[in-house]
Amino acid sequence: MAGRYQHSELAVGLRALKNHFGLTNRQIAAAAGVDERRVGAWLRGEHVPGRSSLRQIVRAMVRLAGRARNRRPLPDEHAHLLDDGETGPWWAWRDAAGAEDTGAPLSPLQAHIREFGTLIEERTRRFTGRGFVLDAIEGFLGDPAFASGYVVLQGEPGIGKTTVLAELIRRHGCVHHFNIATEGIRSADAFLADVCAQLIVRYGLDHADLPAAASRDGGFLSRLLAEAAVRHPVLVVVDALDEAEEAPDGTNTLFLPSTLPRGVHFVVSTREQHDLRLLVEDRRDVMLRDDDPRNIADITDHVSEVLRTGDGRLTGYRPDKLVDVLVERSEGNFMYVKHVLRDILAGVLTPSDVDTLPNGLRDYYRTHWNRMRARDAEHFLRFQEPTICLLATAREPVTAGQVTEWVREHWAANGWDGTRVRQYLVLEVVRQWREYLNTDGGGADTRYRIYHSSFQDFLREEIGLADYHTSVSASALAKIAITETSSRPA
C-alpha cells in the first residue's frame, strides 16, 4: 500500500542515488531493463524490489552515474550506497522493507501518482526549526473540537511554506500533492487524479482505476474521502494553492470540497491572498509571519549552522556580525538567506559587501540581476536575459535545445542574426544561473525550470515577460507551419 514504507531506508537510499546523479526514472528503467512504472513505485517506496531487481537497478544507477554530468563524489554519508555487494546496506534494508514485489502487473492507478520524492528531499535537506509551525498544525489535527476540516498555512513567498509541508509529509507519509507553477503542475485535473489514485492505493479502496469523471469535478474525490474515513483518519497535504490554476466561478481552487467527512483533514498552503478561493465549512489558519520572533530565531539558527560548517571559506568575515546583518537584511525570508549564504560560501560576495547587502528577497534579485548585467552588458542583453526570461515563460521544464530555439526566435524579432545563437552558449548561461534553476534528469534530456516562484514573480513584474511570450508563441507557430507544409501531400 502506498506510503507503507515510503520512508524506509531502502526507498530513501534509492532516491538519494538517483537525485545525486540527476537520473530520471526512464534512464534507470532503460539501463536496468525493467518497467519504468515499477522503478517509480520502488523509488516512491510503494513496492519492494526483489533481490535481483534491486541489484539490477543499483548497478544501473552506478553505471549511469559514471556517465552523468554531475560526477561529484557522493557525500560521505551516502558513499555506502555504491556498495551492492552482499555485505552492503541494500540487502538489510530490503529485508527490513518486508514482502517483495511479485512482479505482478502494476495497477493502472500507479500511472496517476506523481513523484515528489526529489522535491521533498531537496527542501528538507538542511531543515531547521519550525517546531512552532508543526506543533500548531499537529495541534489542530489532534483537536477533538476540529473533527474534520482544513488547516491553511499562509505566508509570503520564500518564507518556507513548501518546506514545512515537505517535512510534514516526510513525518507522516500522508497523501500529498504539490502545485508547482514553474513545472506546469497546476491544474485541478492533475491534482484530482494524483490524490484520488493515492487515496485508493493507500486506503485499499475498492476501485481498479480512476473513472473518467474523477478529474472533472470534486465528486469522486469526496466519495473516496468518505469511503476511506469509514475506517481510518485521513490526512491530505496540498501545497501552494496560489500556484494552482484559477478555479471556475463559484468553485473552490482545485475543486476542494467545502465539507469534509468526519476524520478527514486537509493541510494546505498559500501565500496570503485576499481572493483565495477556499470557501469551506471548517477551517483553522496558521500564519507564518516574517517578523514573528520564532521565525527570526529559526533563520538565525539556520544561518549560524551553515556558516559554522562553512568555516574554512569565511576568512575575513566577523562571524557574529555576519549573522546579525544577514538575519536583519533577510526580512525574515528563508529564500533570501539561502541565496546570500551560497554567494558568501562561493566567494561571490566578500567581507566588504556585508554592509551593503540588499534588503529583502526582491531587492536581492534586483541586485543580482544588475550585478550580472554589469559584468558584461552585451552578453547579458543577448544571452542571459533572453535565456532566463524564456525559461520563466515556459509552462513546464524545457531542454536546452528548446530554449536555444526560442532565443533564436527572440533574436530574429530584434533583427539580430539568430544563427549566432548556439546551444553551448545557452548552456553556459544555465551554468551561470544554476542557483536560480531546477534541473530534472540528465544528459541530452536534462530539463530546466525556474527554481522558485518568487524569482519568476520578479522577472514578470520588474523585467517584463510579454516579449518573451511572443517569441515562444512565434516559435510554436513556425513549427506548426513547417509540419503542415511537410505533411501536405505533394
Ligand X SMILES: Nc1ncnc2c1ncn2[C@@H]1O[C@H](COP(=O)(O)OP(=O)(O)O)[C@@H](O)[C@H]1O
Q: Which one-letter amino acid corresponds to residue 33?
A: G
Residue from 27, 53, 162, 456 touching ligand X (CB under 6 A): that is 162
Q: Is 162 in the site for Mg ion (CB under 5 A)?
A: yes
Q: Rounded to whole angstroms, how far apart are CA atoms 445 and 448? A: 10
Q: Is 182 in the site for Mg ion (CB under 5 A)?
A: no
Indicate the residue among 243 and 405 with the shorter CB distance to Mg ion: 243
- The region that residue 57 occupies, defined by phi over 0 for left and psi between -120 and 50 for alpha, beta otherwise, is alpha
Residue ranges in 346-396 assigned as alpha helix (H): 360-375, 377-379, 385-393
Indicate the residue among 240 and 268 with the shorter CB distance to Mg ion: 240
298 binds, among ligand X, Mg ion, none (CB under 5 to 8 A by kind): ligand X
Residue from 298, 385, 405, 457 touching ligand X (CB under 6 A): that is 298
Q: Rounded to whole angstroms, how far apart are CA atoms 230 and 148? A: 13
Q: Is 336 in the site for ligand X (CB under 6 A)?
A: no
Indicate the residue among 117 and 257 with the shorter CB distance to ligand X: 117
Q: Which one-letter amino acid corresponds to residue 231?
A: R
479 binds, among ligand X, Mg ion, none (CB under 5 to 8 A by kind): none
Indicate the residue among 129 and 441 with the shorter CB distance to ligand X: 129
Residue 302 contacts residue 130 (beta carbons within 8 Å): no
From 124-132, 185-193, 199-207, 361-369, span contacting ligand X (CB under 6 A) = 124-132
For 223, counting Cβ atoms within 10 Å of its Cβ (0-12 exposed, 13-18 middle, 19+ buried), the class is: middle
Tally Cβ neighbours within 10 Å of residue 250. 7
Q: Which residue has the cell 476524520?
A: 263
Residue ranges in 245-359 assigned as alpha helix (H): 293-309, 319-330, 334-345
26 binds, among Mg ion, ligand X, none (CB under 5 to 8 A by kind): none
129 binds, among Mg ion, ligand X, none (CB under 5 to 8 A by kind): ligand X
* Site for ligand X, residues 355 to 414, rule: CB under 6 A: none
Residue from 80, 126, 231, 479 touching ligand X (CB under 6 A): that is 126
Indicate the residue among 17 and 152 with the shorter CB distance to Mg ion: 152
CB of 461 to ligand X, least distance (A): 16
* Site for ligand X, residues 302 to 321, rule: CB under 6 A: 302
For 297, counting Cβ atoms within 10 Å of its Cβ (0-12 exposed, 13-18 middle, 19+ buried), the class is: middle
One-character DSSP codes across 154-221: E--TTSSHHHHHHHHHHHH--EEEE-BGGGTB--HHHHHHHHHHHHHHHHT-S-SS--GGGGTSSHHH
What would the x/- binding string for Mg ion be over residues 226 to 265, using CB under 5 A?
A: --------------x-------------------------
Q: Is 14 in the site for ligand X (CB under 6 A)?
A: no
Indicate the residue among 236 and 426 with the shorter CB distance to ligand X: 236
CB of 456 to ligand X, least distance (A): 11
163 binds, among ligand X, Mg ion, none (CB under 5 to 8 A by kind): ligand X
Q: Which one-letter amino acid corresponds to residue 306?
A: V
Residue from 158, 218, 358, 442 touching ligand X (CB under 6 A): that is 158
Q: Rounded to whole angstroms, how far apart are CA atoms 132 and 182? A: 29
CB of 246 to ligand X, least distance (A): 19
Indicate the residue among 118 and 258 with the shorter CB distance to ligand X: 118
Q: Is 332 in the site for ligand X (CB under 6 A)?
A: no
Pairing outcome for strands 437-440 and 447-450: antiparallel
What would the x/- binding string for ligand X be over residues 84 to 123, using CB under 6 A?
A: ---------------------------------------x
Q: Rounded to whole angstroms, how far apart are CA atoms 385 and 394? A: 14
Residue from 188, 199, 335, 421 touching ligand X (CB under 6 A): that is 335
Indicate the residue among 222 and 438 with the shorter CB distance to Mg ion: 438
The H or E element spanning position 287 is strand 283-287
128 binds, among ligand X, Mg ion, none (CB under 5 to 8 A by kind): ligand X
380 secondary structure, DSSP code: I
The H or E element spanning position 223 is helix 219-229
CB of 128 to ligand X, least distance (A): 4
Q: Is 176 in the site for ligand X (CB under 6 A)?
A: no
Q: Rounded to whole angstroms, how far apart are CA atoms 60 and 82? A: 11
Q: Is 300 in the site for Mg ion (CB under 5 A)?
A: no
158 binds, among Mg ion, ligand X, none (CB under 5 to 8 A by kind): ligand X
Angle at 411 between CA 405 and CA 412, to 5 degrees: 90
Tally Cβ neighbours within 10 Å of residue 64. 22
Q: Is 155 in the site for ligand X (CB under 6 A)?
A: yes
Residue 262 contacts residue 147 (beta carbons within 8 Å): yes
3-state DSSP call for residue 262?
coil
123 binds, among ligand X, Mg ion, none (CB under 5 to 8 A by kind): ligand X
From 8-16, 107-115, 213-221, 331-339, span contacting ligand X (CB under 6 A) = 331-339
For 90, counting Cβ atoms within 10 Å of its Cβ (0-12 exposed, 13-18 middle, 19+ buried), the class is: buried
Q: Rounded to whole angstroms, how far apart are CA atoms 422 and 407? A: 9
Which residues of the shown chain bind ligand X in the complex (CB under 6 A)? 123, 126-130, 155, 157-163, 298, 302, 334-335, 338, 452
Residues at the interface with Mg ion (CB under 5 A): 162, 240
